[in-house]
Amino acid sequence: MSRTRYLQSDEPHIEIIPMIDIMMFLLIFFMVTMLKMIDVSGLKINVPQAASAATLPSKSLTIVVDKTGAMFFEGKPLEHDALVAQLKERAQTAKLEVLVAGDKDVSLENLLHVMDVARAAGVEDIGIAAKH
């Protein structure tokens, strides 16, 4: 009857603790990465509330209008011509859906200006962001 210690045996064994450490590291890494990807623009606006607000598909592009009326696309401030060029370039590959996210204090004229910019680029599906 031969008794050998566990660490001295010839049979292979699997160490599970290092695997758990690696899986936890990967889980935390992907969670932090996803949290950074959610808020792309980094602009803080206070959108108005609406009782009939509906969720839109995630593939829509968002144009943000802050209190001063400045337009932001993908976190960068853009003027009228630059925004039209960006939207036209993207409209060549696929049909665009644009979401205009304006602050509560933005005038209706500024929102209409952004909608005109999107229509000038050939976008037909335009929505306005609101909280439910």
Same domain, 24 and 78: no
* Residues 34 and 77 grouped into a single domain: no
33 with 74, same domain: the answer is: no
Q: Is the pLDDT of residue 1 over 60?
A: no
In a domain, 13, yes or no: yes
The total of other beta-carbon atoms located within 10 Å of residue 70's CB is: 14
- Domain harbouring 78, CATH code: 3.30.420.270
Structural domain contains residue 92? yes
Q: What is the per-residue burial (b if ≥16 Cβ within 10 Å, else e) of 36-62? A: eeeeeeebebebeeeeeeeeeeeeebb
- Is there a single domain that holds both residue 78 and residue 31? no
What percent of the chain is modeled with pLDDT above 90? 8
d(CA 97, CA 40): 17
Q: Is residue 20 scored above 90 in pLDDT?
A: yes
Q: Are residues 68 and 121 in the same domain?
A: yes
Is 88 inside any structural domain?
yes
Range of the domain at 31: 6-38
Count how many domains the chain has: 2
Three-state DSSP state, 119:
helix
Distance CA 97, CA 24 (A): 38
- How far is it, in rounded angstroms, from Cα 35 to Cα 51? 28
Is residue 17 helix, strand or coil? Answer: helix
Instruction: Please indicate, yes or no, if residue 46 is contained in any of the structural domains.
Output: no
- Angle between the 108-120 and 80-91 helix axes, to the nearest 10 degrees? 40
Looking at the fold, whether 79 and 123 belong to one and the same domain comes out as yes
Average pLDDT, the chain: 78
| φ, ψ dihedrals at 100, nearest 5° | -95, 115
pLDDT for position 39: 47
55 occurs within a structural domain: no
The answer to whether position 53 is within a domain reads no
pLDDT in tens, 23-66: 999 999 988 887 766 544 556 666 666 666 666 666 778 888 88
Task: Name residue 52's amino acid.
Answer: S
- What confidence score (pLDDT) does residue 29 get? 92
Confidence band, pLDDT 50/70/90 cuts, at residue 9:
low
